[in-house]
């Protein structure tokens, strides 16, 4: 593997590749691997903003943060496997511009890279709160460096406040609690992950967190951070309450990294907008968290932020680069591990009052069950709580429903 970390301005002629992948992420790496697996022998260049070789993100909020994994265990492939791909990895040099008409990418160091096909895999960046940058002890979690900095902070803190009640906030809270910290969660929902799990299962998750000693201060907005002498001391809520903290994690969602595409001529709207083939323009594709593509079977634009989609979408894009004409129509899927509980969702869990939930395996009272969701008589999703095998089998119910054509339930995002 050739890995370059160099910010020296470039005055050399343009570098040319047959395929240029912008983003050394799981989605970007899987694109390269799929191209090679299908026999592609052309020149491939991978441009990454971080200095690290491609690594996996799901372990960051769990195993890496808890210290049960060393950071190098999160790497997606050993160095020798990356070298065998015969791809050039240019790391530590983020893209700053794209001319879609000529498929030319400019980088922060002054490089100019042109390719026959450009794959955008730049992912997302965390949203932040006003004043956050000026206070010590306030963290976000997206990158490996973020995880290591947060772990160091947790080891020296006693009271943590997590601002955000979504997937990432819930996972960080559970990990920090297992490390012995006093943990409080603040967020606008009535229960953790209510938007992803629906009211009934989100209530079970709230019970799990409360039983393990996490304090939930939900249903009130966050007014802002409170600090003293340049360091965070608490989180202020809209109801006037101040939650004391030695450390704060802001986990209020993430925005697609598309600022570098603003003058590209491509459509940017909550991600890089693509057709059903994940194609944003002639010879330009998008994969992973940054891609917002038309899902033919859901009947609308969809953007998914999860590891499974990153890999599956990359394989579809690689096939299309090589001449395929494949619409990408996955069954949406995500999972989360919190304490000793694994939750998996295939499809979409409707949040409305007209959604129908039926337990089809197990029993919530035992801590092991599978629920199936319907809206207007049509299956939209299945959710499993500590029943991975049975949940996987029930996924077919969702696949069969999608195969019937566009759903009446609007696609998320």
State the chain's mean pLDDT as an integer: 93
CB atoms closer than 10 angstroms to residue 393: 14
CB 297 within 8 A of CB 406: yes
pTM over 0.85: yes
- 143 with 45, same domain: the answer is no
- 154 with 108, same domain: the answer is no
Structural domain total, the chain:
3
CB 289 within 8 A of CB 254: yes
The pLDDT, as a whole number, for residue 12 is 36
- Residue-wise pLDDT for 235-252, tens only, equals 999 999 999 999 999 999
- 241 with 134, same domain: the answer is yes
- As a whole number of angstroms, the distance between CA 305 and CA 310 comes to 8
- As a whole number of angstroms, the distance between CA 345 and CA 383 comes to 4
Q: Which residues of the chain have pLDDT under 70?
A: 1-17, 352-354, 405-413
Which CATH number is 133's domain given? 3.50.50.60
Kindly provide the residue ranges of all beta strands, DSSP E only, lying in 133-193, ordered along the sequence.
Answer: 138-139, 159-163, 182-187
The pLDDT, as a whole number, for residue 408 is 44
Residue that is last in its domain, among 237, 252, 267: 252
- C-alpha distances in Å from residue 28, one per residue of 13, 21, 307, 337: 25, 6, 12, 25
The pLDDT, as a whole number, for residue 404 is 79
- 171 with 281, same domain: the answer is no
Q: Which domain holds residue 306?
A: 2-125+255-321
- C-alpha distances in Å from residue 264, one per residue of 66, 102, 268, 276, 413: 41, 10, 9, 20, 23
Note whether residue 327 is domain-resident.
no
Note whether residue 409 is domain-resident.
no
- Residue-wise pLDDT for 317-369, tens only, equals 999 999 999 999 999 999 999 999 999 999 999 876 667 999 999 999 999 99
Q: Which residues pair with 128 in a beta bridge?
A: none
């Amino acid at each position: 593997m050739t890995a370059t970390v160099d910010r020296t301005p470039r005055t050399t002629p343009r570098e040319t590749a047959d395929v240029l992948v912008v983003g050394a992420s799981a989605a970007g790496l899987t694109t390269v691997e799929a191209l090679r697996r299908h026999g592609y022998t052309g020149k491939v260049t991978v441009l990454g903003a971080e200095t690290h070789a491609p690594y996996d993100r799901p372990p960051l909020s769990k195993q890496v943060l808890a210290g049960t994994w060393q950071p190098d265990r999160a790497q997606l492939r050993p160095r020798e496997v990356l070298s065998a791909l015969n791809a050039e990895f240019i790391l530590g040099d983020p893209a700053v511009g794209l001319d879609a008409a000529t498929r030319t990418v400019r980088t922060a160091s002054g490089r100019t890279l042109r390719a026959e096909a450009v794959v955008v895999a730049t992912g997302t960046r965390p949203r932040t709160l006003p004043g956050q940058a000026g206070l010590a002890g306030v963290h976000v979690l997206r990158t490996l460096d973020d995880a290591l900095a947060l772990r160091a902070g947790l080891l020296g803190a006693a009271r943590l406040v997590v601002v955000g009640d979504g997937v990432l906030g819930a996972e960080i809270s559970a990990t920090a609690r297992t490390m012995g910290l006093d943990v409080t969660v603040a967020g606008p929902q009535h229960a953790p992950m209510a938007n992803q799990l629906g009211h009934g299962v989100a209530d079970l998750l709230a019970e799990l967190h409360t039983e393990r000693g996490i304090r939930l201060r939900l249903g009130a907005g966050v007014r802002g951070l409170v600090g003293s002498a340049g360091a965070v001391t608490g989180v202020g809520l809209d109801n006037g309450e101040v939650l004391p903290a030695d450390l704060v994690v802001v986990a209020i969602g993430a925005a697609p990294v598309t600022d570098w595409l603003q003058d590209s001529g491509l459509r940017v709207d909550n991600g890089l907008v693509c057709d059903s083939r994940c194609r944003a323009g002639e010879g330009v594709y998008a994969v992973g968290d940054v891609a917002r593509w038309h899902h033919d079977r859901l009947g609308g634009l969809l953007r998914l932020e999860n590891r499974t989609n990153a890999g599956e979408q990359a394989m579809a894009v690689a096939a299309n680069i090589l001449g395929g004409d494949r619409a990408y129509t996955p069954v949406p899927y995500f999972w989360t591990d919190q304490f000793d509980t694994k939750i998996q969702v295939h499809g979409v869990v409707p949040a409305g009052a007209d959604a129908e939930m039926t337990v089809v395996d197990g029993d919530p009272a035992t801590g092991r069950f599978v629920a199936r969701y319907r809206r207007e008589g049509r299956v939209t999703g299945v959710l499993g709580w500590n029943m991975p095998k049975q949940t996987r089998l029930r996924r077919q119910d969702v696949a069969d429903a999608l195969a019937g054509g566009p759903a009446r339930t609007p696609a998320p995002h």
